[in-house]
Amino acid sequence: MRRIGIFSGTFDPVHIGHLGAAQVCLQALQLDKVFFAPFGKPLIRQADASAAQRCEMIRLTIAGHPGLELSEIDLQPKPRYAVDTVGELRQRYPDAELFYIIGADKLRDIPGWKDAARLMTMCSFAAYPRAGYDASALCEDLRDHGAHVRLIPAAQVTMSSGQIRAQLRLLSDAPGRLLPQVAEYIASNGLYQPDYERMVRQAVSPSRLLHSQGVRHTAVRLARLHGLLMQKAGVAGILHDCAKNMELGRLQFIARQARLPCDAQTMGSNALLHGPVGAQIARMRYHISDAHILNAIRYHTTGRAGMNALELVIFVADAIEPSRKYPGLGLMREQAQEDLRLAALTSLTGTQKFVKTKGLSESPLSLMGIADLRARLRHPVKEDLAY
Ligand code: FE
Ligand code: FE
């Protein structure tokens, strides 16, 4: 007889605790498979991420774990009750023994669920321990109601999706709680943050938005590759060009009003001034207070001496994002995998050559940036790349 576990939930987002509990259930109960079944429309709290996004995060989490599968059984436009889910599984797998996987924190609620008595005849419950709950006693209470209950010998799950959402809002990647590939997906799609993409869409052209999305995606990928903070890279990436489509007069007005310390050359060029003014707009309109993000936006047009890792990530991502097309891009993309400083130096020197051939004067900030990067590359220090 097949033995199947069903793990229903909102998974907003799915975390390492969910993965661990499912793996222990699989082994301890000798299950053939465990289905992760996200709710299309959760009963209590509206999910922040869409059903499709929550499914994708589950796919990323269970990839490479035999026996763990995504089920779309609960992806319905109306709330689903456990008795509906289990009833449908029972029809699909009439001979299987079904285990409803649940955290110990929810055991007390089960007798109050819809058609609880019938549900208890249709499946067993597999409870995993949760911090702050006496799982053994709660299992015993549920048995008194006539349910079959197994307590899973898993370590206590101490994390919750709610805590992780709070961490993400503070621009943490929730290490040890989220798998890196899930944190990358979240940063790359701007989940669990204010909807900066919608705000930027109102401020820039469609092609600029596409570029900004490309920069966000590339910046997050580079951040993960180099062990840097992905959520910060994502926010800086989507916002970096928020002032790009403003007319020069408007940029100059904002720069003067805010008394931004810009040299004459920067003040005279949209291509340079949208960096410092973009940082100002990010601060005032989008309420960004993180100094690293603001500096990454401020200096993405010129670079500067002493760029930190996030500044380098955005500077390089801006140069190599997927929609870019110019000679030498392949080399820079390779260099970005190896060393962000090297890729940034290649980009800056390329721009310097271009500016010279056009007979324009070079940005002092860029020249100082080039000298600084050359020095840092001669004597590379690992801690150089952190933020
Ligand atoms: Fe730009
Ligand atoms: Fe850009």
* Per-residue pLDDT tens digits for 5-43: 999 999 999 999 999 999 999 999 999 999 999 999 887
| Residue 248 tokens, joined | 């020069």
Q: E strands within 144-248?
A: 149-151
Q: Which ligand is nearest to the CA of 300?
A: 1
What CATH class is the domain 3-159? Answer: alpha beta
pLDDT of residue 386: 61
Q: Where are the domains of the chain?
A: 3-159, 194-377
Closest of 221, 193, 189, 224 to residue 57, by C-alpha: 189
| Residue 4 tokens, joined | 């199947």
With both helix axes pointing from N to C terminus, report the angle between 206-225 and 309-320 in degrees, rounded to the nearest 10: 130
Distance 319 CA to ligand 1 centre (A): 9
Distance 239 CA to ligand 1 centre (A): 10
pLDDT of residue 382: 65
Q: Which ligand is nearest to the CA of 270?
A: 1
Identify the segments of the chain with pLDDT beneath 70.
381-387
Distance 348 CA to ligand 1 centre (A): 14
Q: Which ligand is nearest to the CA of 324?
A: 2
Q: Which protein residues have their CB within 5 A of the ion that is ligand 1?
A: 241
Q: Do domains 3-159 and 194-377 have the same CATH topology?
A: no
Which CATH superfamily hosts domain 194-377? Hypothetical protein af1432 (1.10.3210.10)
Taking the C-alpha atoms of residue 344 and residue 369, their distance in angstroms, rounded to an integer, is: 9
Distance 317 CA to ligand 2 centre (A): 8
Distance 376 CA to ligand 2 centre (A): 25
Q: Which ligand is nearest to the CA of 275?
A: 1
DSSP assignments along 336-364, one per residue: HHH-HHHHHHHHHHHHHHHHHHTTPPPPH
Distance 297 CA to ligand 1 centre (A): 8
pLDDT of residue 7: 95
- Render pLDDT for 140-181 as a digit per residue (tens, 0 to 9): 999 999 999 999 987 778 889 999 999 999 999 999 999 999
The residue assigned the tokens 């002092």 is: 364
Distance 383 CA to ligand 2 centre (A): 27
Distance 238 CA to ligand 2 centre (A): 9
With both helix axes pointing from N to C terminus, report the angle between 230-239 and 206-225 in degrees, rounded to the nearest 10: 160
